[in-house]
Amino acid sequence: MPGLYVGLMSGTSMDGIDAVLISLSGPPAPRHHTHQPFSPELRETLLELQHAGSNELHRAAQAANALALGYAATVRTLLAQSKVGPEQVRAIGCHGQTVRHRPEKGYTIQLVNGALLAELAGITVVCDFRSRDIAAGGEGAPLVPAFHHAMFAHPERPRAIVNIGGIANITALPVRGHVTGFDCGPGNVLMDGWIMAHQGKAFDADGAWAAQGQSLPELLERLLRHDYFERRPPKSTGRETYNLQWLKKSLSGNERPVDVQATLLELTAAGISRAVDSYCADALEVYLCGGGARNQALVRRLTALQPRRRIATTDELGVAAEMVEATAFAWLADRTLAGKPGNLPQVTGAAGLRILGAIYPA
């Protein structure tokens, strides 16, 4: 089955690995999905690698090996559930785990030992998708808008696709003209970090905790003053910008934790809503994907902030919200092996179209 690919995604939220098996013999058709949480130890290691520390190169190399082992185990589970052998899969498209994203310094780091993953899985691996775009002067992200266009564009209806992972990114799909897209601000990263710090939970299921609080207008205004919101695209961001250390600089210390959580949800909703208004003005349909699409309190706020637009999830377009990013990297792997470009220069700011990724043959 030369049209079968596996896509692997572990994003800024660092909650674990999403794996999809898809057929690319025709239009992308997801066939199966599985999710494997990170162990607390691996997640802690990955979070620590966001910052400089002792013996950092060794720890990063060991983490890359651990990720390869985790990815390979997840692929085995996916294929067993799908009753597909590794010899039937053309390639794995693996995003890797971002621990540093500094395009302004000319580099980005997505940890994974691609050679080890190919050895363990017995399948060709394509990874390190962002580096070539950065080498061409781009931001290296977001890379999913090209897939969004291939999968979700409509010939008569302009649309916006909003991926809400750790960071939120938006893709404008006009009927005519260029596809555009960019990271528009925090997605789940601040909400996840705050609830972990105060309740020991990895995420706020359905936004239930945030819904018990009251958004604090003055705090929200301080957070929205961050200059990233005012920067014009192309632009991308990550934990280097949005983290609890940054948040705490805006706190007085007298806020109720639940009200801070409600404010962080409002911050995510406001950042997305402003981006839609500014860069997707013609779109009357906004489709959400990523883990944040399952946060019902967040979806309600976005719906309230966008009364003239229809807010839905990509489930309605044929790809479950939690499967979109992993499916995109399977699609990008196919582009790489076919010698086709995977970036959109108008999105990333690269000097031109580029074939992305490093290939590790089986």
How is the chain split into domains, by residue range?
Answer: 4-141+322-360, 152-317
CA distance 140 to 101: 9
∠ at Cα 10 (298, 67), nearest 5°?
150
Q: Is the pTM of this model over 0.75?
A: yes
Looking at residue 322, its pLDDT comes to 95
CA distance 209 to 69: 34
Q: pLDDT category, 28, cuts 50, 70, 90?
A: confident
Res. 335: pLDDT tops 70: yes
> What percent of the chain has pLDDT above 90?
95
Element (H, E) at 197: helix 189-199
Looking at residue 30, its pLDDT comes to 84
175-204: average pLDDT: 96
111-133: average pLDDT: 98
CA distance 76 to 86: 8
Res. 2: pLDDT tops 70: no
> What percent of the chain has pLDDT above 70?
99
Per residue in 217-255, pLDDT tens? 999 999 999 999 999 999 999 999 999 999 999 999 999
CA distance 134 to 105: 10
Looking at residue 255, its pLDDT comes to 97
Tokens 């010698």, residue located: 339
Looking at residue 25, its pLDDT comes to 85
Q: How many Cβ atoms are within 10 Å of 26's Cβ, its own excluded? A: 7
Per residue in 127-173, pLDDT tens? 999 999 999 999 999 999 999 999 999 999 999 999 999 999 999 99
Task: State the burial class of residue 2 (Cβ atoms within 10 Å of its Cβ: 0-12, 13-18, 19+).
Answer: exposed
CA distance 222 to 25: 49
* Range 152-317: architecture per CATH: 2-Layer Sandwich (3.30)
Answer CATH for 4-141+322-360 from 3.20.20.80, 3.30.420.40, 3.60.10.10, 1.20.120.10: 3.30.420.40
Decide if 4-141+322-360 and 152-317 have a common fold. yes
